[in-house]
A = this chain, B = another copy of it.
Amino acid sequence: MNKGRIEAFTDAIVAIAATIMVLELKPPKVNTVAALLDEWPVFLAYLISFSLIYIVWYEHHNLFQRSGVISSSTYFLNGVWLFFLTLIPFVTAWIGESPNSVVAAVTYLLVMLLWTLAFQLMERQVTLDSDPHKRHYRLPRARFNFDLFLLGGLVIAFFVPFFAIVAVGLFSLILIVRMFQHREDSNG
């Protein structure tokens, strides 16, 4: 498949998913600083979801940089990954409106976890495709830790819903730090 065209198509979907979330940011009903600040959960949820999408795009970029040919399996898993990504505007709007709802918090983290798992399956596929002799694939330790982290966040969110947004914020931060480390240590 034409890698450049798949990348551009994927990036368009990522860009739209990241940007249509701003349609949730509505001018406050009354024009006071208090009314604006009252909307802080909506803004915080937007900031965190936008940051995560932006930094995960970097991971997608790296994955496709090192992939040679895009196989049907990779294309399929890319679609699964994009599908969960497009649910982020929905869960972000929900958690922004209802930051103390357990159902919203758990759904938010569940979408993030499934999105992350879809990425890991795609990463596995790209790795296997690049080396036809390879039979076994071991999930990198860092990826495994991400899954544990999000799963842990999901459990905590059952008791403290607001932790969902904190967990995804921390997850973005970890990925950002990793990106800067990656610069210094290309084997990272």
Using a CB–CB cutoff of 8 Å, the interface residues on chain A facing chain B are 1-2, 5-9, 11-20, 22-23, 25-28, 31-33, 36, 47, 50-51, 54-55, 57-58, 61, 65, 71-73, 75-76, 79, 82-83, 86-87, 89-90, 93-94, 97-98, 101-104, 107, 176, 179-180, 182-183
Bound form: Cα–Cα A47–B82 in Å: 11
The secondary-structure label for the interface of chain A is helix
Q: List the B side residues contacting A180 at CB < 8 Å.
A: 72-73, 76
11 A/B residue pairs, CB under 8 Å, sorted by A: A1-B58, A20-B20, A23-B23, A25-B89, A26-B90, A27-B104, A28-B94, A31-B98, A50-B83, A75-B179, A76-B176
Query: Of B13, B104, B107, which is within 8 A of A19 by CB?
Result: B13
Beyond A12-B16, A54-B82, 13 extra complex contacts between A and B, CB < 8 Å:
A2-B65, A5-B61, A9-B11, A13-B19, A16-B16, A18-B86, A22-B90, A31-B102, A36-B103, A36-B107, A47-B83, A71-B183, A73-B180
